[in-house]
Amino acid sequence: MARGEERLNDEQIVAAVLDGREELFGDLIKRYQNRLVNYLFRMVRNVDEAHDLAQEAFIKVYQALDGFDPKYRFSTWLFRVAQNAAIDHIRKRRIKVVSMHRQDADDGTNQDWEFPSTERGPYGEMRNVERGEAIQQAIDELPWEYRELILLRHYGEMSYDEIAGLKDMPLGTVKNKLFRGRQMLKQTLADYLRD
């Protein structure tokens, strides 16, 4: 990529792709792939499915790229498509919210859910697993209106503006819901925050 192109924002890249430089769509994928996979992983709890859904979202967006309205953010559009795909996927497959390392009761497959080890040794590993489960359970217990914003902010790494655009919510409501969601998490995870 030429140096000048590194400074292109999402909307400029979309315009360039539509102008016949399809290869630049790869830059958009590179820019969002980690955030999107991470976010989708938190929704569907399976690494492979998160990748499949991310791929599906990128493809859907590419197919409809000429319908993109540059007055909106590309990220907002991409995450909306991905979120809808994930919700649809969860609904179809009836994925149960399961704890980490637990066998899925329906299809018997293992959920790829493992936190990186931050503590060494068997005791440390046990604590990591326990903490990971507690974090996931705390997130799962949040009402959806808070959980979805926590996931978008912390795993999708979306800004307040982007979330407001995605959810079609006033900025103040986004902040308020995020703050309340975090307060709830803080209370639930108080034992781990004291460590």
Binding stretches for other proteins (CB under 8 A) = 18-23, 25-26, 29-30, 33-34, 36-38, 41, 47, 50-56, 58-59, 62-66, 113-116, 118, 131-132, 135, 150, 153-155, 159-160, 175, 178-179, 182, 185-186, 189, 192-193
Which residues, 6 or more positions from 128, have their beta carbon under 8 angstroms from its beta carbon? 115, 116, 117, 118, 119
Find, among 58, 56, 54, the residue nearest to 36 by Cα. Answer: 54
Residue 124's DSSP bridge partners are: none
Indicate the residue among 22 and 106 with the shorter CB distance to other proteins. Answer: 22
Q: Whole-number minimum distance, CB 18 to other proteins, in Å?
A: 7
Which residues, 6 or more positions from 144, have their beta carbon under 8 angstroms from its beta carbon? none
Q: Whole-number minimum distance, CB 143 to other proteins, in Å?
A: 17
Which residues, 6 or more positions from 97, have their beta carbon under 8 angstroms from its beta carbon? 45, 140
Indicate the residue among 30 and 96 with the shorter CB distance to other proteins. Answer: 30
Q: Whole-number minimum distance, CB 171 to other proteins, in Å?
A: 10
Indicate the residue among 29 and 90 with the shorter CB distance to other proteins. Answer: 29
Q: Whole-number minimum distance, CB 121 to other proteins, in Å?
A: 17
Question: Is 138:188 a contact under the CB 8 Å cutoff?
Answer: yes
Indicate the residue among 166 and 178 with the shorter CB distance to other proteins. Answer: 178
Which helix (H) or strand (E) segment holds residue 16: the answer is helix 10-18
Question: Is 39:84 a contact under the CB 8 Å cutoff?
Answer: no
Indicate the residue among 104 and 129 with the shorter CB distance to other proteins. Answer: 129
Q: Whole-number minimum distance, CB 25 to other proteins, in Å?
A: 7
**Exposure letters 83-122 (e unless 16+ CB within 10 A, then b):** bebbeebbeeeebeebebeeeeeeeeeebebeeeeeeeee
Q: Whole-number minimum distance, CB 28 to other proteins, in Å?
A: 10
Indicate the residue among 80 and 175 with the shorter CB distance to other proteins. Answer: 175
